[in-house]
Each structure stands twice: as C-alpha cells, then as structure tokens.
Amino acid sequence: MTDIWPDHLFLVGCGNMAGQMLRRWLACGLDPARATVLRPSGRAVAQGVAVVTDYPASLPAGTTVVLGMKPYQLGEVAALLAPLCRADVRIVSILAGTRLADLRAAFPAAAEIVRAMPNLPVGIGEGVIALHAEAALSVASRTAVEAFIAPLGLAEWIADEGRFNEVTALSGCGPAFLFRFVDALARAGEAIGLPADQAARMALATVRGSASMAAMASESPAALADRVASPGGMTRQGLNVLDADDRLLKLLTDTLVAARDRGEAMARGE
C-alpha cells in the first residue's frame, strides 16, 4: 500500500475502538515503529508498537494524535498534551459528544483538528467513519485524512456538525443494535422450537449473507425485502407483522433518538 501514514502516530488511550483502529492500520502496512500508545496500565498493544505510561517531552514532527480516551478525560489530557501540540500536529478525536469548538479550545496551537466517529467493524476494514473538520482544513489535508482513514472502511464527511450525534446514533451505535437484533432473531428461532445453538448459527449466517447481498445489489433493501416476499407466502406474513403500524420503523427511530439525545447531553457535560 502507498505510504498513507502520518510521520508518527500517537494514540492517547487504546481501548476497544482505538485498539481496533490501530490493529487495522498495522494490518494494512503501518510501520509499528511509527506508532506510540499512551496507556496508564503500560500493557502492550501490538508487537513493535511503543507503549508509554506518561506523556513524552515532545512529539515528533508531523505527528497525528488520536484521542481515544473517555470523553470526560479531555480536560485532564489537554492540560498535559496541549503544550506538545505545535503547528505541525494534527489531532483526530474519536470522543463521542465532544464538539470541535471544545477540542479547539483544549488544543489551541494544533494545526488541524478532525472529529471522527468510527464504529466497531473498523477492525476488519468494514467500518463506517463519520468525519467533520474546521472549514479551514485544506484540500491536501482533507485528502490525507481520507487516505489515512480509508483502510478502516467507508468514510463520510458530515458538513453540519449539528448532525454528528445523529450520525453517531446510526452508524456509531448501530453495530450494537444489529448485534442485539441477531441475538433476538436467534432467540426467536429457539422460541418456536429450534435448538438454541442451531438457531444462533442460522441467525448469524442469515444476517451476514443478507447484508452482503444488500451491499452488492442495485436495488434498495426495501425492494429486496419485497422481492423475497411472495404474495400470500410465509415471508409476506412475517413482514406484515414487522410493517404493521410501522412498528419496526418506530422502534428503530426511538432507539436512534435515545442514542442521539444522550450524545447531546454528553456535549452539555451532563
């Protein structure tokens, strides 16, 4: 792969999401010697990647900092990290509910700040990453960010930061909602008489195959559903239950609203 990597990558925190991102980048060719992870535990993250328990005296020129700690830790982290962020440092934040203005206030001297909201499948290169940056971000920098993010999956620039919590509710939280659906589908299969282990395998394979088919199809998922459902058949009868009074749509809308509202509350410090 062409060298799309920053001169140096400094990750503050390497939990579930940041860890998935790092593993994918390494699998796609990032030199481990160009990455450093700050984590208080000092636990190793990957062969060749340096792990430090405290902030270095300085950051190498051309460093990209990925903020992967908990959002409430921003003030504590900024107090120690901001003095190291010179005008050649780019910051990529994956902190949920943390606005660009708050990030700029915390890191006033950083060259560029980009908000990114990935979801868990970034670890296998099939994630969705919402991006938002200051208007002053140059075309060259935008291209560099896109290239850096591309190994993780689908990158979508969000023009209106006010929509960021809505995007996060859909794609950032979406994998958890889908996992819950797969589990419920399997348990429903068990409820109508299938052995639990068999229902679990079949539910997962059904969702995996159907998602792959939808991704390759020229038709919308709604059209595919109607194509599967023969008039008067079993599938149509089941769809009639899901479609009655838009119950599935209402359930998912309520789910996304709850997630979005929590993001907005976090942004207010609640």
The average pLDDT across 243-255 equals 96
Contact between residue 182 and residue 202 where contact means Cβ atoms under 8 Å apart: no
The residues facing 11 across adjacent strands are 37, 66
pLDDT of residue 2: 64
Domain positions in the chain are: 8-162, 174-267
The average pLDDT across 175-182 equals 96
| pTM of structure | 0.85
Q: Does domain 8-162 have CATH number 3.40.50.720?
A: yes
Q: pLDDT tens across 34-80, in order? A: 999 999 899 999 999 999 999 999 999 899 999 999 988 999 999 99
Average pLDDT over the chain, rounded to whole? Answer: 94
Return the percentage of the chain with pLDDT > 90, whole number.
86
Q: Name the CATH superfamily housing domain 174-267.
A: ProC C-terminal domain-like (1.10.3730.10)
Burial (CB < 10 A; 0-12, 13-18, 19+), residue 252, is middle
Rg (CA), the chain: 21
